[in-house]
């Protein structure tokens, strides 16, 4: 098929290399699109810049999710399943490609812990670097040029057909997801599945942190989200306690108390973590603070003080035995 202007979009030409099957898919907002791609320069050698097949796994983007290289959404929504097409794109569409390519390469090299799909988080930060860390991308960034993309469309999934990650959700969807994730975390905690529960709490925290960036710090809506976040962090700390990750509990609870020094549960959990690592004075100070803020917790505090005393006595006995053995 001869190259032709695609959908009357300026600066794009499409050539179908292999026809697809069926009707044009329904590319609704939130659909996940899976595809392979190869990016080349428009020089005589057709120099390859990136190739997803060499990486060994396809690319995913979410329709309507402000993907870094927005032109790809235009290209993909013109394709049928299993179609292979070549797209020539002028410089007006390829200016940010070096930044996208940097992300993809780092992921392929294992420098990024996420799966091989990219969203806009951190895009602005990348502009702050004088170098992208790859000579060919630095050159491309200094002198933007037309690029050719060969794309094979593999799959289009409606939002209900795949499990969307939290960063993929809209603001309203994030807000709706939080109580579901929170409830699921509580259910898993009660079943003793602490690792899975902590993951649910973390996902809910990520949703709320993302929403919180839209509000002015310390104003009413920001504070409402902050209260929800603190509750989830403390639930997460309970999972850490069960997994005997006491120093991480100390870190999270101390961080909360620096910002919100009146949260009883944070003092209580921190006291228990101090006790587990034999910080006797700190544990007692936190338990005293619990009593000051919530006198009705007297029974729980007495129990923790008895446990602390027993633990400290065990430690002292161990030290006496160690000294005796050394002298012996």
Alpha carbon of residue 222 to chain centroid: 21
23, 253, 273 from 301: Cα distances, Å: 67, 18, 14
What value does the mean pLDDT of the chain take?
A: 86
Q: Is the pLDDT of residue 120 over 50?
A: no
Q: Distance between CA atoms of 282 and 272, rounded to whole angstroms?
A: 10
CA proximity to 99, closest of 37, 141, 130: 141
pLDDT band at 275 (very low <50, low <70, confident <90, very high): very high
pLDDT at 62: 82
What pLDDT is stored for residue 167 in this prediction? 64
50 φ, ψ (degrees, to nearest 5): -145, 150
Confidence at 119, pLDDT banded by 50, 70, 90: very low
Determine the pLDDT at residue 21: 94
For 321, the enclosing helix (H) or strand (E) is helix 298-327
Q: How many residues does the chain have?
A: 328
pLDDT at 316 over 90: no
Rounded to an integer, the average pLDDT of 245-249 is 92
Classify the C-alpha dihedral 112-117-120-124 as positive or negative. Answer: positive
Whether 98 and 140 have beta carbons less than 8 Å apart is answered as: yes
Of 44-48, 101-105, 148-152, 203-207, the poorest mean pLDDT is in 101-105
Distances in whole angstroms, Cα of residue 31 to Cα of each of 20, 24, 255: 19, 14, 38
pLDDT band at 315 (very low <50, low <70, confident <90, very high): confident
Nearest one of 68, 175, 177 to 118, comparing CA atoms: 68
Question: Which H or E run includes 150?
Answer: strand 147-157
Given a contact cutoff of 8 angstroms between Cβ atoms, the answer to whether 282 and 266 are in contact is no
251 vs 196: CA distance, rounded Å: 21
Alpha carbons 193 and 208: distance in angstroms, whole number: 23
pLDDT average, residue stretch 106-135: 51
Span 135-143, average pLDDT: 89
pLDDT tens column, 74-87: 999 999 999 999 99
Lowest-confidence region among 13-17, 291-295, 323-327: 323-327
- Neighbouring CB atoms inside 10 A of 321's CB total 10
Name the pTM for this structure: 0.54
């Amino acid at each position: 098929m001869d190259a032709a202007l695609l959908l009357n979009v300026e600066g794009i030409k499409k050539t179908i290399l292999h026809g697809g099957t069926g009707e044009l898919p329904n590319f609704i907002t939130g659909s996940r699109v899976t595809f392979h791609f190869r990016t080349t320069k428009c020089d005589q050698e057709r120099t390859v810049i990136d190739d997803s097949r060499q990486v060994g796994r396809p690319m995913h983007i979410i329709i309507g999710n402000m993907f870094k290289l927005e032109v790809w959404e235009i290209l993909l929504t013109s394709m049928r399943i299993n179609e292979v097409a070549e797209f020539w794109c002028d410089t007006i569409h390829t200016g940010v490609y070096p930044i996208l390519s940097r992300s993809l390469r780092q992921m392929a090299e294992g420098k990024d812990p996420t799966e091989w799909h990219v969203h806009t988080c951190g895009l602005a930060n990348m502009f702050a670097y004088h170098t992208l860390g790859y000579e060919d991308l630095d050159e491309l960034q200094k002198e933007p040029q037309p690029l050719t993309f060969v794309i094979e469309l593999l799959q289009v999934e409606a939002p209900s057909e795949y499990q969307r990650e939290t960063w993929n959700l809209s603001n309203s969807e994030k807000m709706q997801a939080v109580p579901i994730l929170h409830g699921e975390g509580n259910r898993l905690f009660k079943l003793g599945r602490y690792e899975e529960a902590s993951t649910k709490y973390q996902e809910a925290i990520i949703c709320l942190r993302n929403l919180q960036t839209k509000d002015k710090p310390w104003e009413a809506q920001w504070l409402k989200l902050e209260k929800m976040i603190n509750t989830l962090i403390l639930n997460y700390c309970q999972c850490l306690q069960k997994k005997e990750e006491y120093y991480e509990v100390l870190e999270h609870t101390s961080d909360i108390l620096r910002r919100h020094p009146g949260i009883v549960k944070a003092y209580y959990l921190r006291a228990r973590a101090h006790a587990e690592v034999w910080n006797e004075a700190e544990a007692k100070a936190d338990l005293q603070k619990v009593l000051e803020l919530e006198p009705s917790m007297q029974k729980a505090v007495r129990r923790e003080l008895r446990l602390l005393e027993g633990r400290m006595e065990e430690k002292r006995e161990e030290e006496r035995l160690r000294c005796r053995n050394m002298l012996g």
